């Protein structure tokens, strides 16, 4: 079976780096991507969402906070400001972040910069919570 190398990299360093992966699923801003080895080269911006990596009949799930995916036939690289493996997510922290963001959203107007920041913080927190419950 054909496989590829998958790396998920943040400013703090690599979060995931494995050879022998069989499939990567991610959500780009243009829609869901299901990538198999040998895929045509592609670069796409990602939404704040789960990324699934299938290897050895096992699927690892990560919470990825936006960034980009670069696909080459033998390699997939995800570059993001933050990314965590499901097992490394602190659910209480994410729940606290969700509550903080919800309070900020109530207290600011939609066009405010603080509203946008709170919306992204809320999206990150919800994504982390969702990833731990799958
Ligand atoms: P918080 O308000 O809890 O810091 P945040 O969304 O503002 O959440 P980020 O700026 O996205 O946090 O991430 C900062 C660093 O903390 C990153 O290294 C990220 O991987 C890590 N991180 C954030 N939230 C969690 C969490 N719930 N569990 C584990 N690591 C987390």
pLDDT in tens, 53-91: 999 999 999 999 999 999 999 999 999 999 999 999 999
Q: Is the pLDDT confidence value at 134 over 80? A: no
- Look at residue 1 in the predicted model and tell me its pLDDT: 77
With CA atoms as reference, report the closest residue to 34 among 19, 20, 17, 22.
Answer: 22
Residues 53 and 39 in one domain: yes
Closest ligand 1 atom to residue 96 Cα is 3
CATH number, domain of 22, equals 2.60.15.10
What value does the CA radius of gyration of the chain take, rounded to a whole number of Å? Answer: 16
Residues 44 and 74 in one domain: yes
- Look at residue 59 in the predicted model and tell me its pLDDT: 97
Q: Is the pLDDT confidence value at 46 over 90? A: yes
**Number of structural domains in the chain:** 2
CATH number, domain of 102, equals 1.20.5.440
Residues 80 and 107 in one domain: no
- Tell me how far apart the alpha carbons of residues 37 and 72 are, in angstroms, rounded to a whole number: 8
Question: Residue of the nearest CA to atom 29 in ligand 1?
Answer: 89
Query: Which residues does a 6 A CB cutoff place in the pocket of ligand 1?
Result: 12, 65, 82, 84, 88-90, 93-94, 97, 121, 124, 128
Q: What is the 3-state secondary structure (H, E, C) of 50-79?
A: EEEEEECCEEEEEEEECCEEEEECCEEEEE
Per-residue pLDDT tens digits for 9-42: 999 999 999 999 999 999 999 999 999 999 999 9
Residues 77 and 99 in one domain: no
Domain range for 22: 4-86
Residue 27 tokens, joined: 């959500």
Residues 77 and 95 in one domain: no
- Look at residue 110 in the predicted model and tell me its pLDDT: 78
Residues 22, 55 contacting (CB under 8 angstroms):
yes
Q: What is the pTM of this model?
A: 0.95
- Tell me how far apart the alpha carbons of residues 69 and 115 are, in angstroms, rounded to a whole number: 27
Residues 82 and 125 in one domain: no
């Amino acid at each position: 079976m054909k496989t590829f190398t998958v790396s998920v990299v943040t400013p703090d360093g690599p979060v995931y780096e494995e050879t022998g992966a069989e499939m990567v699923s991610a959500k780009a801003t243009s829609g869901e991507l299901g990538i198999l080895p040998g895929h045509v080269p592609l670069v796409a911006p990602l939404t704040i969402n789960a990324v699934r990596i299938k290897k050895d009949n096992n699927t690892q799930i990560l919470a990825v906070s936006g960034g980009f995916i670069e696909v080459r036939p033998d390699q997939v690289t995800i570059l993001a400001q933050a990314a965590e493996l499901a097992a490394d997510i602190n659910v209480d922290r994410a729940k606290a972040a969700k509550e903080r963001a919800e309070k900020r959203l109530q207290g600011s107007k939609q066009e405010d910069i603080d509203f946008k920041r709170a919306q992204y913080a809320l999206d990150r927190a919800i994504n982390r919570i969702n990833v731990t419950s799958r």
